[in-house]
Structures are given as C-alpha cells and as structure tokens.
Structure 1
Amino acid sequence: MNKIPDFILSKEDVDELKNISLRDVINGRLFTRSLIANQLPFALFLAFFAFMYIGNHYRMEEQMREIAVLNRELKSLRYEAITTSSELMFMSKQSEVLKKIRNKNLKLEELREPPRHLKVKY
C-alpha cells in the first residue's frame, strides 16, 4: 500500500536525470534510460499531434490562398456582368434599334399607332 504515484519522481529517478550529459544525448543512451523510455509513448503521441497541427496549418493557408484567388475572379466576373448588362441595355434602346435597322437596310418601320389588344373568350 505504500506505493509512490507515477507522477512523483523517486530519488533514484532524480539522480538519474541529474547524471544526463551531452554525450548521452548524442550517442542515444538517453533513450535507453528507464525514466525516458517510460515517457516515450507520450512523446510520440505529442509528436503525432504536432505533425497534424503543422499539416492542418499548411492546408488552411493553401485554402486561404485559393479563396483569395476565387474572390478576385468573382469580383472580375461581377464587373464583367455589370458591363455586359449595361451594354445590352444601351443596345436595346428604341433609338439604337432604329439605327441598326437603318444601317442594315431592313424594310422594317416603326409603329405609328399603338398595338391592338386581342380579347379571347374561353
């Protein structure tokens, strides 16, 4: 019943951590020590989430660039639609239609009297 919880370091573990040198890190002996080896799955878990976070960030930046390109294209197409609409409105004015009819020598005339309405009984 006198068990030490896992998150409290024993005196041996503290002494083991104090004896870590640069040589242990370089030659890989650091990862063979029991205290470090016990924490290795958690470190790999954190590394996995770090890679996921970095990948998610790059994907988000790519999507933001794509959205910016699409917004510029949408703005350009909106201006083009407004320009086309105004040109069409200008071309469909009665005076412009008459000019085009005269230029093409079509034998069409402008109505002098209002159109008649036909009433159909069912």
Structure 2
Amino acid sequence: MSWFKKIVDAVRGSEDFSDIKSSTVRDILNGNILTKKFFQKQYGLIIMIAVLLFLYVDNRYQCENQQAREIELKKKIQDVKYESLTISAELMEISRQSNVMKKVNESGLPLVESTTPPIVIEDSIPTK
C-alpha cells in the first residue's frame, strides 16, 4: 500500500483543493463543480472513465444476451433429444418381427416367414 500512499500524497501536494472544499451540494447538483480548476484539468480522465463505464455496461448486456441464448439452445437440444428418443422407440416397436408379420398379414401380402436361418458368407480374401 505504500506505493498508493505515495501517489495520493503526490496528488495532494501538487493540487489546490481549496475551491473544491468550498463547493456545496448545490454546486454538485447543478454542475458548477465541473467548472472548478481541478476538474478542468481532469476532463480527459472523466471522459475516459465515462467511456469505460459505457463499455462495461455494454459488455454486461452482451453477456446476458449470450447467456439467455445459451439457455434457449440447451432447451432446444433437450427437446430434440427427447424427440429423437421417442422416434427411436417407435421405430423399434414397428420393426419388431411380430409387428412386421402383423402388418404383412393385415395388408394381405402372400409372404411367409422363413424357417431356415440366414447363411453367413465369409470373405476368403484376407484384409490388409
């Protein structure tokens, strides 16, 4: 903290605060305090602080918008996952052998279930 104290002492030693000390609340409210010598020297700093304040507020606004968008997209992803699970379950239900046979019989197709198991054909060429 000693470096901070040195800076404060340097500012106090080089500036005349008598005109600021004589200011009243009325001077602050109507803006007359900005016409004092100390504040006229610090206009650049005041403008920089105001710009940084606006940038900070804008940055926070953008972050809140991004967070809201992220929450919205997470909800959409969750909905799509649930829809995908539902469709997958329906597909599994429809593609069961008993349901396929039921649909074939209902549509009147002359198809019969095979009694011989499928034959596995093995590749005789070795893979590299």
For the superposition of Structure 1 and Structure 2, which TM-score range results when normalised by the shorter chain?
A: 0.7 to 0.9
- Map 1:1-122 onto structure 2 (within 5 A): 7-10=11-14, 13-116=16-119
3-state SS in 1 of match to 2:83: helix
Structure with greater contact order relative to length (CA < 8 Å, sep ≥ 6): 2
Instruction: Report the TM-score, using the length of structure 2 for normalisation.
Output: 0.77
Question: CA offset at residue 94 of structure 1?
Answer: 0.7
What RMSD over aligned residues (CA atoms) do the two structures have, in Å? 2.5
Task: Give the % identical residues.
Answer: 30
Please report the TM-score for the alignment, with normalisation by the length of structure 1: 0.80
TM-superposition CA deviations, 1:32-86 (whole Å, max 9, x none): 2221111111011011111111111111111111111111111111111011101
Matched residue of 1:110: which SS? coil
- Aligned residue pairs: how many? 117
Instruction: Give the distance between the partners of 2:38 and 2:63, measured in 1 at CA.
Output: 38
Gaps of 5+ in 1: none
Assess, with a 3 A threshold, how the Cα gap between structure 1 residues 108 and 9 changes in structure 2: closer, same or farther: same
